[in-house]
Amino acid sequence: MAGLKSNEVHLEPYDAAWPEIFSREASALRAALGPLAMKVEHIGSTAVAGMIAKPIIDIAIKTESFNVLPQIIEAMRSAGYESKGEFGLPGRQFFTKGDPTFFHVHVVERQSGHWPRWISFRDALRANGLLRAEYEKMKRDLAAKFENDRPSYTAAKTNFIEEALSNR
């Protein structure tokens, strides 16, 4: 797994190594962040067995408060990450690692609404084969349409995700 360049959209078949890659990186992040990381979860399509995905491991980290954001940013830098700020999603701090990018880390405060949405959608995909198949088809279509425009690819998935979450 080699990651992706900044705007590239390329989907790969599920790789059974993804959970172990996440586990190793999560351990390194827990060591770097210590008590600043309340929870660390594998999210996104690489967290769903059998699902096609962009070859980037998405990691969500819950922290108590952004009052300690300077310490979080420093700890993430020490772990090899680059801070991107909110990067278009208010209430989230976004970090990337690798060239091309291999890891995305999304840090949110404990009370953030992002956290339950990410975990719920991941769990819905894990539990529902029909939902997973529909999502994969849509992702394939969008990847063909937006192969060099990741922001549009990501935005085009929003309605599907919202609908799936409203049916839970």
Give the other-Cβ count within 10 Å of 118's Cβ.
21
At residue 123's C-alpha, the angle toward residues 160 and 51, to 5°, is 70
Q: Looking at residue 88, which CATH number applies to its domain?
A: 3.30.460.10
Contact 58, 106 (CB under 8 A): yes
Helix (H, G, I), strand (E, B) or coil at 22: helix
Contact 30, 14 (CB under 8 A): no
Query: What pLDDT shows up at residue 48?
Result: 98
Helix (H, G, I), strand (E, B) or coil at 90: coil
108 lies in some domain: yes
Closest alpha carbon to 46 in 126, 165, 134, 108: 126
29 lies in some domain: yes
Contact 3, 55 (CB under 8 A): yes
157 lies in some domain: yes
4 lies in some domain: no
C-alpha 60: how far from chain center: 6
Is the C-alpha dihedral spanning 99, 103, 107, 112 positive or negative? positive
Rounded CA-CA distance 149/44 in Å is 18
Show the tokens assigned to 116. Answer: 């339950």
Closest alpha carbon to 150 in 3, 6, 2: 6
167 lies in some domain: no
User: Pseudo-torsion of CA 2, 34, 31, 84, nearest 10°?
Assistant: 20
Query: What pLDDT shows up at residue 6?
Result: 85
Query: What pLDDT shows up at residue 146?
Result: 97
5 lies in some domain: no
10-residue mean pLDDT profile of the chain (168 residues): values are 84 97 98 98 98 97 97 98 97 96 97 97 98 98 97 96 91
1 lies in some domain: no
- Number of domains forming the structure of the chain: 1
12 lies in some domain: no
Show the tokens assigned to 42. Answer: 């594998």
Q: Note down the domain range covering 100.
A: 18-161
